[in-house]
Amino acid sequence: MIYTFLFGIDAIFRINTTLWIDTTLYFLTFVISILGWFLLKKNTSVIKNCLGFIFVPSFSLFITINSYGSSLNYFHKENFLIFGGLYLFVLVGSMIFITIKTKDNCRRKSVIQMVSIILSGLMIFTHSCIELISNFENFVGTGFVYLSILIIVYFYLKVLIVRINKDGNFKFERLNLISNILFWIHIVLIDFACFGMAAASV
């Protein structure tokens, strides 16, 4: 959180409303994503799982929208059609496959859980799609694309662990450990990347 601390000091002393709002939202989404990771850390209740899936991608999505939101109208529409369609096809196909493969393990679990997983997937894939398009639009290098891959892999590992696990006891400790490591690598690297870009712009 070096970025948040230094950017917050800069916003306060310059009394810049825009910086103050950006810094606050940055910090809040950072905390919300960590809270989501914590709720998914152990497969407990359906409600915690639902909130966890919704909260996890908030930080990544905020960074993407905050960085490229005002520039999206400059992006070529064909890129949105190509990459957006590809990402959506992968998401829908994978969700159908996972639902079919795990339906016997999740009869006692609410349909709301699957809805929250789909919403989380849409948030993650929206973030990842924009990051990928920005690379082809020469807005940024490939670094953020690799970070997007980390959160996608984390998402699918968590979906499998939550959907397959019936009794609340982890049967996939190794997968769970890998997913947790991927999450923290993703969120820490984004924080350092944002700090680096902010420092370079000074």
The residue type found at 46 is V
Structural domain boundaries in the chain: 2-200
> Residues 40-91: pLDDT tens digits?
887 667 888 889 999 999 998 888 888 777 777 777 788 778 888 888 888 8
Bigger pLDDT: 15 or 197? 197
CB 148 within 8 A of CB 127: yes
User: Cα–Cα–Cα angle for 6, 13, 4, nearest 5°?
Assistant: 20
Beta-carbon-side half-sphere exposure of residue 93 (alpha carbons within 13 Å) = 6
Task: Find the distance separating the first CA and the last CA of the chain, reported in whole Å.
Answer: 18
CA-CA distance, 68 to 131, in Å (whole number)?
A: 9
pLDDT at 165 over 70: no
CB-based contacts of 1, cutoff 8 Å, min separation 6: 27, 30, 191
Other C-beta atoms closer than 10 Å to the C-beta of 169 total 9
| Per-residue confidence (pLDDT) for residue 54, from 0 to 100 | 92
Beta-carbon-side half-sphere exposure of residue 109 (alpha carbons within 13 Å) = 27
| Per-residue confidence (pLDDT) for residue 139, from 0 to 100 | 67
